[in-house]
Amino acid sequence: MATATETPVQVTPERILQMAWGYVPPLVLEAAIRHRVFDVLDGGPKTVAETAAATGASVRGLTAIMNALVGLNFLSKEGHARYGLTPESSAFLVSTKPGFQGGLIRHCSEHLIPRWLHLNEVVASGNPVSAVNDEKSGAAFFHDFVLDIFPMSYPAAQFLGAHVSFGSDGSPVRVLDLAAGSGVWGIALAQSSPRVHVTAVDWPEVIPVTKKTSARFGLADRFSFVEGDLHDADFGSGYALATLGHILHSEGEALGKKLLAKTFRALAPGGTIAIAEFLVNKERTGPVNGLFFAVNMLVNTQNGTTWSVEEISEWLREAGFTDPRTIPSPGHSPLILATKP
Ligand SMILES: C[S@@+](CC[C@H](N)C(=O)[O-])C[C@H]1O[C@@H](n2cnc3c(N)ncnc32)[C@H](O)[C@@H]1O
């Protein structure tokens, strides 16, 4: 209770009313991406009528979503008439730009939100309606999903390539790309040094995507593929570097630790493990994206969640790794590295 000398904190229901419409931003963004609004505005500011003519969408529909996008600062509005891109939408929402993040947004209405609609029952039971960590339902989901999240990790993967700096001279260097998906980590590492040969591991349904993407980058002859479940597949051994891109969160603690121990065995002495993850602080008070992603794992996996750097570092030590450390990266979180002595 406030005393006479304290100013009472003014609370308003404004934030709660905003939360009631919390599904609006991703769905408005998806509609704008699907109707090519950002692509069309990349050619210069336009009126709604001009945007309708260029996209084939309705004037009424575009008026509503383009104004909402102005409210969300994804579009600017000159006077009452012309809408333009902001620096952020220009960099990340135009489909022809290398930084395009709209692939993920495009999955909101068909794949992501329908699963979240079961959150009430999932919280009651503690179990997902269907689990993407299970090959039966996960492989089809990831087949369609992994290419669209390529831009999310490509800058961080390029940064890792520069950090490990294998250079251009010397004997071949073998890299193990675990849960490869699009192959984004292996692709950037192969591009970073002609010495690198990548072994990519993923489910048989997803490996064709890895093959197609690595071939599109002209790297087909620098990749080998292992089709199978991470927990059964033979990784081989003698690798200088192993990447675990966005896989620990769907595994849960027991399988995550097993995977780290198996990765340790596959590395050569002196080899490095590199982990990309959505992270939370050890008190689990933030960052909010990491806390949200833990709910996403509740909805979509049997035991998945998000972890702190401290927890993952402890698991790495238990697996035999030394010097767990983070390096800042241009991705959503720092990368966690450790060394096999
Ligand atoms: C979130 S995606 C990450 C892809 C890529 N590493 C990245 O960072 O963009 C997870 C990948 O792990 C694969 N995966 C998940 N569980 C697996 C398992 N038990 N065995 C093999 N692959 C698995 C999925 O097929 C998918 O390609």
Reduce the secondary structure of the chain to three states and give it as a string: CCCCCCCCCCCCCHHHHHHHCCCHHHHHHHHHHHCCHHHHHCCCCECHHHHHHHHCCCHHHHHHHHHHHHHCCCEEEECCCEEEECHHHHHHCCCCCCCCCHHHHCCHHHHHHHHHCCHHHHHHHCCCCCCCCCHHHHHHHHHHHHHHHHHHHHHHHHHHHHHHCCCCCCCCEEEEEECCCCCHHHHHHHHHCCCEEEEEEECCCCHHHHHHHHHHCCCHHHEEEEECCCCCCCCCCCEEEEEEECCHHHHHHHHHHHHHHHHHHHEEEEEEEEEECCECCCCCCCCHHHHHHHHHHHHHCCCCCCECHHHHHHHHHHHCCEEEEEECCCCCCCEEEEECC
Amino acid at 214: S
143, 144, 145, 203, best to mutate for ligand 1 pocket (most atoms within 8 Å of CB):
203
- pTM here is 0.94
Tokens standing for 67?
């104004």
C-alpha gyration radius of the chain? 22
| CA 115/CA 19 separation, integer angstroms | 19
pLDDT at 5: 67
State in Å: Cα 250 to ligand 1 middle.
Answer: 9
Chain-centre distance of CA 297, in angstroms? 13
State in Å: Cα 309 to ligand 1 middle.
Answer: 20
146, 213, 259, best to mutate for ligand 1 pocket (most atoms within 8 Å of CB):
146
- Identify the residue whose C-alpha is closest to ligand 1 atom 1: 246
- Identify the residue whose C-alpha is closest to ligand 1 atom 8: 245
Q: Which atom of ligand 1 is nearest to the CA of 138?
A: 25
Residues 6+ apart with CB under 8 A from 44: 84
Residues 6+ apart with CB under 8 A from 333: 276, 277, 278, 279, 290
| CA 236/CA 244 separation, integer angstroms | 16
| CA 109/CA 261 separation, integer angstroms | 37
- Identify the residue whose C-alpha is closest to ligand 1 atom 22: 202
State in Å: Cα 147 to ligand 1 middle.
Answer: 11
| CA 189/CA 196 separation, integer angstroms | 7
State in Å: Cα 244 to ligand 1 middle.
Answer: 9
Give me the tens of pLDDT residue by residue for the chain, a chain 341 residues long.
445 567 788 999 999 999 999 999 999 999 999 999 999 999 999 999 999 999 999 999 999 999 999 999 999 998 878 999 999 999 999 999 999 999 999 999 999 999 999 999 999 999 998 888 888 888 988 988 999 999 999 999 999 999 999 999 999 999 999 999 999 999 999 999 999 999 999 999 999 999 999 999 999 999 999 999 999 999 999 999 999 999 999 999 999 999 999 999 999 999 999 999 999 999 999 999 999 999 999 999 999 999 999 999 999 999 999 999 999 999 899 999 999 99
Tokens standing for 259?
């995977």
| CA 72/CA 112 separation, integer angstroms | 21
Ligand 1-lining residues (CB < 6 angstroms)? 133, 138-139, 142, 146, 149, 153, 179-182, 184-185, 202-203, 206, 229-230, 245-247, 250, 276
Please list the residues that pair with 77 across neighbouring strands. Answer: 83
For residues 100 and 94, the answer to whether their CB atoms sit within 8 Å is yes
